[in-house]
Amino acid sequence: MYPPIRNRSDARTLERKPLSHYMQAADVYAAFCRGADIDPDKPAMQVLPAGEPMGEPVTISYRELKERVHQTANMLHSLGLGSTDVVSFLLPMCPEAYYTILGGEAAGIVNAVNPLLEPWQIAEILKAAGTKILVAPSPIDPVGREIWDKVAAIRHELPNLKAVLQVGGLGSTHGALSFETEMLAQPGDRLVSGRRIDPADIASYFHTGGTTGTPKLAQHSHHMQASHVWSTGVGLGMDENDVLLVGLPLFHIGGSVIGAIIPFAKGATLVLGSPAGFRDPNLIRDYWRLVHRYRVTIVAAVPTVLGALLNIPADNADISSVRYALTGGAPMPMEVGKAFHERIGRLVIEGYGMTETTSYVTLIPRDGPLRIGSVGVPLPHVEVKCVRLDEDGRIDRECAVDEIGNVVIRGDCVLPGYVQEQYNAGAWAGDGWLNSGDLGRFDEDGYLWITGRAKDLIIRGGHNIDPAVIEEAMHKHPAVELAAAVGKPDAYAGELPVAYVQLKPDADASVEELQSFVREHIAERAANPVNVFLVDAMPLTGVGKIFKPELRWDSVRLVYGELVRAATEPANIDAKVTVGAHDVHGTLATIALSGERDAEIEALIADSLKPFAVRHEIVWS
């Protein structure tokens, strides 16, 4: 049984004993085996048929899953994968992807890659990882064909590649081995290698940050992931009675660590909704019926998906099995959190973490009061502070209560470093503190509130986009003097990329021309800017750098301004929207309205701004 977590004091009380006292396994393989042995005959996975979520599932018991994990590890070992070698995979959500994660970490190092990336991006990631074995889907179906075509186009560029395994094929084809045939030929009761895993051994790589040049590969050790089996487990109170309907991609820590390794180590059941995850509209359409049918206990999704689920009627679905909703990966608009809480009548647990910190480092206390908008308190045996940094990026001092500063993190959850040494410079703020690149504040009760980003990532539906991808493409246009990309608020995706452009003196280029040009030079479709704005002069800092906060404020002003005008024009009320820095909220939109206060107009404005994370205030004059 887990102790209650009601506040930061409860979390800190658990630190009176060392982390080693609580951990029941020192590596991921041992943690998985322990979870699988709790009840070998219960379902580990309920795999729903593609395109028909309400169809009959394929049930995989923990006994079978453990056997498949052993067989996969032994297959990889037989193909030459050692403890420091890398198996990469480009797979949709399917049982073989989970076999590869768990079996691959038992045999060597697993590198999960986003199959939606362009071939050249995939090639860079696979080369940086030193991929020895590659797992990809068979081309016999449309989804598999698209991914396989990318693999076929780049495999000759991978100098360390020794074998390619094909999932779902009819046998060995296209110079690849059949995953199923090779796996089933192996014993399933043990690791043939006899490997003894050191907790410091690297378990996996995750690509993160930008996609220009050499990708940034974050290393996860076995100890990092095994420690989070306990810390995230205690934060969530997860156990063998839980059922999770999963739809987050496995190349992200939300899908692989929070949505796979931790639940399997707890003996919970996963319901695999679709190979495409939450990108499948059928899964969203049938979500509440699936919650009813499989008695789902934890509703877990990024904020944009939670927002979409609010539009799906529960009808006669019984969702009383749900214990709480779990979210993270991007800021959750407060109104979405409130509406979701009202829908399920349960706590909405928002958390904060990074690829570099394994999983969550803060969570809303599961037994505590509702505090929507905060990302909670630091988990036990995880240190999180808001600090002011000096000009060298080192900690100068810790921030006071409600003072905004840079969020830094320290603990067993923090990565030992990136694969490429050049990315380690500047990643730490001194004495083991990882600089998150995010801005936040702690309130008087020890709750963390994320107020913005010091780093420039654009987060589109939980997917990180490096603005440099857009900016470098835009600068190739001969008329462009300066270009800067930021995220503008979006009701569904959270943010969408937009570009601000200053033209060279006497140069001429239309918005349409620039937008068409940049789309031809950006391989990552999600990074194509939805708007290009021409400016007379870029806002600059005192040292001549582009001041991106002002551009972000402008994008908020444009979006909010359009919605506010739509709400006020029928009433012939003048409205002006200004956006700027705020000491507590980070960014605040002020909506100035003329005339006597009108509660109905205020309600219309509030309703239109519900989907957005940036706070607003209404003033009358």
Q: Could you give the CA distance from residue 230 to residue 227 in angstroms, rounded to a whole number? A: 6
Residues 424 and 531 in one domain: no
Q: Is residue 448 part of a domain?
A: no
Residues 57 and 174 in one domain: yes
Residues 529 and 554 in one domain: no
pLDDT of 262 above 50: yes
pLDDT at 542: 64
The predicted model scores a pTM of 0.84
CATH of the domain at 330: 3.40.50.12780
pLDDT in tens, 320-373: 999 999 998 877 878 888 888 888 888 899 999 999 999 999 999 998 888 888
When divided into structural domains, the chain yields a total of 3
Residues 131 and 172 in one domain: yes
106 and 97 Cβ atoms separated by less than 8 Å: no
Length of the chain: 621
360 and 436 Cβ atoms separated by less than 8 Å: no
Q: Is residue 542 part of a domain?
A: yes
Q: Is residue 284 part of a domain?
A: yes
Q: Is residue 232 part of a domain?
A: yes
CATH of the domain at 606: 3.30.300
How high is the mean pLDDT of the chain?
A: 92
Residues 422 and 477 in one domain: no
Q: Is residue 2 part of a domain?
A: no
pLDDT in tens, 23-75: 999 999 999 999 999 999 999 999 999 888 899 999 999 999 999 999 999 99
pLDDT of 212 above 50: no
Residues 227 and 123 in one domain: yes
Structure tokens at 619: 């003033």
Q: Is residue 582 part of a domain?
A: yes
Residue where a domain terminates, one of 437, 471, 505:
437
Residues 110 and 94 in one domain: yes
Average pLDDT of 551-579? 93
Q: Is residue 451 part of a domain?
A: no
Residues 499 and 587 in one domain: no
Residues 150 and 215 in one domain: yes
Q: Could you give the CA distance from residue 414 to residue 432 in angstroms, rounded to a whole number? A: 9
Domain that holds residue 478: 459-546
CATH of the domain at 477: 3.30.300.30
Q: CB-based contacts of 356: which residues, under 8 Å, 6+ apart?
A: 208, 218, 414, 415, 427, 434, 436
pLDDT in tens, 263-280: 999 999 999 988 888 888
Q: Is residue 118 part of a domain?
A: yes
pLDDT at 228: 92
Residues 537 and 555 in one domain: no
191 and 73 Cβ atoms separated by less than 8 Å: yes
Residues 387 and 507 in one domain: no
Amino acid type, 177: L
